[in-house]
Chain A
Amino acid sequence: MAHPAYAVFEHQLVSYRRVWRGSVLSSFLLPVLFLLAMGLSVGGYVDRTGGLGVRYLDFIAPGLLASTALQVAASESTWPVYSGFHWHRMYHSMRATPVRVADMVRGHIAYVLLRVALSALGFLIVMALFGTLHSWWAPLALPVSLLVGLATAAPIFAFSALVKTEGMFAVLFRFAVVPMTLFAGVFFPVDSLPLAARALAYVSPLWHGVELTRAATLGTASAWGAWAHVGYLVAWCVAGYLLATYRFGRRLAE
């Protein structure tokens, strides 16, 4: 007998089957646009200064990969989770079956990670075509993307189970996702930030993901050593998962 968490995952797959073509297409299209616009065009100016030591395209591509993992994880963990409680009430319907709260969280997060994996894979293929993979470690960018995805999806699951209005997602994106994307080392090294801002970058899971991804595709060392970054991201995953399970239980008990 299949595990109940797998049945939850399967439900999401049945939904995804309707839209997968569009989503796969965009997971190739978006990286192409980003790398053309940011990497090559902006890069043309940045590279004249030569301050980075590598081509701007090579610098920014792994950062964008990690930030894509964050974006996909965040959007798949906000409205769809909220809907499960308030609109389509999917979690309520599961609550009437043998499926337990932990199964709901695991099964749904597994699906979010599948979406992250597909987007990250598309991104990596495009990066290869742009000639931005410079190391045999590059395939490790894929598991790193999953780690970033889980480290952000799990706490956002908890957030989405907690909030009472969808307006709170605008707050989440404005004050967490967007600042992270802008200031966690995706577009420029955090060394150039003032100390306080740099500290915030260090706290964010994205910066650690960017460091690891960049280390993998460029074959360079990361700021704190790979295991420190991995450990920090795992801490977010574990804390987020525990919090999400707790919040789901609370929301469904109402």
Chain B
Amino acid sequence: MSAAEPLITARDLVKRFGDFTAVAGIDVDVHAGEAFGFLGPNGAGKSSTMRMIGCVSAPSGGTLRILGMDPVRDGSAIRARLGVCPQQDSLDPELTVRENLTVYARYFGISRKVARQRADELIEFVQLTERAGDTVEPLSGGMKRRLTIARALVNDPAIVLLDEPTTGLDPQARHLVWERLFQLKQRGVTLVLTTHYMDEAEQLCDRLVVMDGGKIVAEGSPRQLIDRYSTREVVELRFSEATLDSYVGKLESIGERLELLPDRILLYADDGDAAVAAVGNRDLRPSSVLVRRSTLEDVFLHLTGRTLVD
């Protein structure tokens, strides 16, 4: 991590909407060249935090510095150096792919000539060259999202903010977006993203915080979080009987921790195969057994609970 001043510094940052506290005092540092993630269920305060960093909504308390400036006083100057890929598309569907980029570049005071050049480069980068002259309306969700990412890069930003960049995309489209974001990371662009996809966080983030109920409940690299809050492996057991409760006692002390789900039981163990063997030794006959690597998902669910948040 560089010794230079972080690009983003938040201390005890709070966002309130009336009586509702969306962000309840968080501390965050994002350094140059880093890919930083906010992970959390819906309503955890990720998007509110992103909107404060994007200088769109003013903090209700605490301090926030972005690129060494104050987001309330210097909002316009900060936004000039940010690239924002919002959760909801805000492309102009009546304009062409290229026009969407050139028009947007003009908002940053970029000359028409440079805007056209940059648009062509970015269209190539997000693999939309063949659709450059088409209007945006009929493009697929994945294409629109790639165009939105290209648009966020039009001002050659110091920080790119991505709010759930792959939500709603099919697997192919998602992988293409990840590839492009990974390339940006390779180029040294600082990425700040929110997601509730664990695989996305594992793929892209150098460091992340898990948010729940407006607070940060864990912080670290994906590897560190898995080491700290989960085991190396997870065994998923399914049984043909409808009620799994009776197995909880029988499985006791196998692995480090057990979790009962409606349809399966999870055993957290450093050696999955040894745990499976132990299950067999107790004469239990699961209908299916799956040993897998522990993922951020296990960390995430462990930390934020399995309650469904709509």
A: residues with CB less than 8 A from B are 1-2, 4, 7-8, 10-11, 14-15, 18, 88-90, 92-100, 252-253
Contacts and interface: CB of A to CB of B under 8 A. Distances in A.
A21 to B, nearest CB: 16
Given A97-B108, A252-B56, A89 B90 contact: yes
Given A14-B103, A253-B57, A96 B84 contact: yes
Contact of A88 (B86, B90, B108): B90
Interface in B86-124: 86, 88-95, 99, 103-104, 106-109
A117 to B, nearest CB: 22
Contacts of A7: 103, 106-107, 109
A92 B86 contact: yes
Centre residue among B57, B88, B92 by max chain A CB count within 10 A: B92
B80 A97 contact: yes
Contacts of A14: 95, 99, 103
A92 B90 contact: yes
B56 A11 contact: no
A8 B107 CA distance: 7
Interface of B is mostly: loop
B94 A100 contact: no
Contacts of A94: 107
B123 to A, nearest CB: 17
B165 to A, nearest CB: 14
A2 B106 contact: yes
Contacts of A90: 90, 92
Q: Top 4 closest A-B pairs, CB basis?
A: A89-B90, A96-B84, A93-B90, A97-B107
Given A89-B89, A98-B76, 19 more contacts: A2-B106, A4-B107, A11-B106, A14-B95, A14-B99, A18-B94, A88-B94, A89-B88, A90-B90, A90-B92, A92-B86, A92-B88, A93-B104, A97-B79, A97-B108, A97-B155, A98-B108, A100-B76, A253-B58
Contacts of A253: 56-58
30 contacts: A1-B109, A2-B106, A4-B107, A7-B103, A11-B92, A14-B95, A15-B92, A15-B94, A88-B93, A89-B89, A89-B90, A90-B90, A92-B90, A93-B86, A93-B90, A93-B104, A94-B107, A96-B54, A96-B79, A96-B82, A97-B80, A97-B104, A98-B77, A98-B79, A98-B80, A98-B108, A99-B107, A100-B76, A253-B57, A253-B58
B96 to A, nearest CB: 9
Contacts of B91: 88, 93
B106 to A, nearest CB: 4
B41 to A, nearest CB: 22
A10 B106 contact: yes
A6 to B, nearest CB: 8
Contacts of A92: 86, 88, 90
Nearest to A6: B106
A98 B109 contact: yes
Contacts of A96: 54, 56, 79, 82, 84, 86
Interface string B174-202: 00000000000000000000000000000
A18 B136 CA distance: 14
A5 to B, nearest CB: 10
B50 to A, nearest CB: 11
Contacts of A100: 76
Contacts of B56: 95-96, 252-253
Nearest to A97: B107
Contacts of B95: 14-15
A57 B210 CA distance: 73
B291 to A, nearest CB: 45
Interface string B68-81: 00000000110110
A250 to B, nearest CB: 12
A175 B76 CA distance: 39
A162 to B, nearest CB: 19
Contacts of A95: 56
Centre residue among A15, A98, A99 by max chain B CB count within 10 A: A98
Contacts of B103: 7, 10-11, 14
A94 B104 CA distance: 8
Nearest to A4: B107
Contacts of B109: 1-2, 4, 7, 98
A72 to B, nearest CB: 19
A7 B104 CA distance: 8
A18 B137 CA distance: 14
A8 B106 CA distance: 8
Centre residue among B84, B93, B106, B151 by max chain A CB count within 10 A: B106
A17 to B, nearest CB: 9
A65 B150 CA distance: 45
Nearest to B148: A93
Contacts of B104: 93, 97
Contacts of B99: 14
A253 B58 CA distance: 8
Given A14-B99, A15-B95, A18-B94, A98 B89 contact: no
Interface in B131-159: 151, 155
